[in-house]
Structures are given as structure tokens and as C-alpha cells.
Amino acid sequence: MNTKPIVGIVSPCYNEALVLPETSAQINAVLADLAARNLISEKSFAVFIDDGSKDQTWSIIEQQARQLAHIKGLKLAGNVGHQKALLAGLITFKDEADALISIDADLQDDVRVIEDMIVKFKSGTDVVYGVRKERVTDTFFKRNTALLFYRLMKIMKVNIIYNHADYRLCSQRVLNALSEFGEVNLFLRGIIPSIGFRSDVVYYDRLERFAGESKYPFRKMAAFAWNGVTSFSNYPLKLVTIVGFVIFFFCLLMTGYALFALYTGNVVPGWLSTVLPMYFLGGVQLFCFGIIGEYIGKIYSEVKQRPRYFIDKRVD
């Protein structure tokens, strides 16, 4: 292991003009400090990926790249989403560093644990996950929906790290393995643990957002969670079969009840046996068709094999 590895920090940005000057300054200071203490190479860098921002994000990235020694920039041709923007940075710069660290631009992930990640990497660890100690900064709603998300992933047999988002270090050989994944429906929190190799975790307290607004409201978080489930588990399809058996058993009970009610004369003949199964089975069928349609839609996206992103500009 190189005693002074080249380390790159990759941060996707979408409309982060308010926070970006502070983020780049803090990360640049961390890299300069680690290089001064001979923990990493002076060639180490941070790259900010502009994911089709509509504000001044790219102009700030260009300005910071000119003023700060360790800052680089990558501009995508359009908005492709957080996961694809992150992948663009990882794949583009994987051959220029011994390891890459992914981190969000909002400064909620504590940059001070970057040193801990590098120490574990230098000891032979290929993946180091940044894991939150607790969720005291979250609202009651967000904290409980997050817990529900991880429990759902566990039920669906999706291999992810509890309380880990996208704050992680990956060695070059992990990144080379990641580049072989050609899927369009990206869920890096599930893909990277599935690669294998030696891994470890560092724990940190998640901070308040420095400025700006979250780019992941509930609607996007719910879509992200559903994408993770359907990208890594066929359990919902198995659930359709389970629901079918439950309905069959329920219908047997309803048949017995309908015959008993008809015999006692408590209902209008034919009403119970017609209306209840019709509404119940209709709703279940729509539910099952929706799940099957979701998987068919993913197959449709994958078989087209369209490029996941296009790079517009790069600044070093």
C-alpha cells in the first residue's frame, strides 16, 4: 500500500450555490492538512460534479478550481439525478486516484472523519462506510420513515449498511468492479456492498445543513427507496404470489359466509357474493399489476442501454 496515496473526494451538486463556497473551502483545507502531514499525496483532489444545476453552481466550481489548489470540476450535460451524477464522478476519476471518497455537498457529513477513512484504507480496507451514530438532527417524521426504509430493505433481502447514505471511501479495485455494472436504475447503496472486498465503517454525528434546502423531499425519498427495493429484490413479485394464496383462502371463508348468510336470509340473495369479491379482487389485481408493471418498466429502461450521462465540461 502506498504510504502517501492519491485520494479524490467526489461530490455531486445540484443547485448548491449557497453552500458550495464553504464546502469547497472546508474540503480543500482537509486535503491540504492531510497532505502536509504526509498522510496523502499532494496530488490528492476534490471534484464537484454539476448535475445540470439551474443556479450559479458551475460558475462557482470554476472559480474555486482556479483559486484552490485541490479543487476540480465536472459539468454534466443535463440533470441525471444524484446517483448517476455520483457515478459519473467515480468512473471519470477512478484512474486518477488510489481511492475516491463520495460525499454530499451540503456539509451534513462530517469531513473530519475523512482522515479515519484514509487510515483504514491504508491498513488494507477497500471500502469504508460513513455511518451515522444517531438521527437527533432529523425531524420525527424523517427519522421514523428512515427507520422504516431500512427495515423494509431488510425484509426485502437488500444488502445495505444501516444508517449509511453515500458517504464512503472506495479503493481503485472496487471502482474498477463498479465500472462493470451497466445498469441504468442505480442504487449505489446496494451495489457497492454487493461487490464484496474487505470493508469497515467509521461513525460520525450528522450535522445540520450549512445552507440551502434539501434536494430530497419526501416524494423523492419515497421514489429512491422504491427504486432500491425493485432494483435489488424480486421479493415484491413473490409478494404477488403470497397475496394470491391469501386471497384464495379469504375467498373460501367468504364463500362459506355467503352461503350461511343466504341460508339465514340476512342479505339480499346474490349481493354479498357479487359485490364484495368484485371490489376486493379488483383492488388486489390493480396492486399486483402495478408491481409487475414497475419491473417491466425497469426492464424496458435496461434493454435500451442508453448512456447514463454525458459530460459537458471539465475544469482542473
Give residue-wise pLDDT tens across range 225-246: 666 566 666 666 666 666 666 7
Phi first, then psi, for residue 315 (nearest 5°) are: -130, 135
Could you tell me which of 52, 276, 91 has the C-alpha nearest to residue 182? 91
Question: In the predicted model, is pLDDT for residue 215 greater than 70?
Answer: no
Model confidence at 258: pLDDT above 70: no
| Distance from C-alpha of 168 to C-alpha of 99, rounded to nearest angstrom | 10
pLDDT tens figures, 2-13: 678 999 999 999
The residues near 187 (Cβ < 8 Å, ≥ 6 apart) are 83, 224, 227, 228, 231, 232
Mean pLDDT, all residues of the chain? 80
CA–CA separation, 75 and 28 (whole Å) = 19
- Spell out the alpha helix ranges (H) of the chain: 20-36, 57-67, 82-93, 114-122, 140-155, 172-178, 188-195, 218-232, 235-264, 271-304
Q: What is the pLDDT of residues 46-70, one digit of tens each?
A: 999 999 899 899 999 999 988 888 8
- Please indicate whether residue 121 or residue 237 has the higher confidence score (pLDDT): 121
pLDDT for residue 156 = 67
In three-state secondary structure terms, 161 is: coil
Instruction: Evaluate whether the domain defined by 7-215 bears CATH number 3.90.550.10.
Output: yes
pTM of the predicted structure, to 2 decimals: 0.72
Sign of CA dihedral 52, 53, 54, 59: negative
Q: Where are the domains of the chain?
A: 7-215, 235-304
Phi, psi values for residue 93, rounded to 5° = -110, 10
**Nearest CA among 238, 225, 237, 242 for reference residue 190:** 225
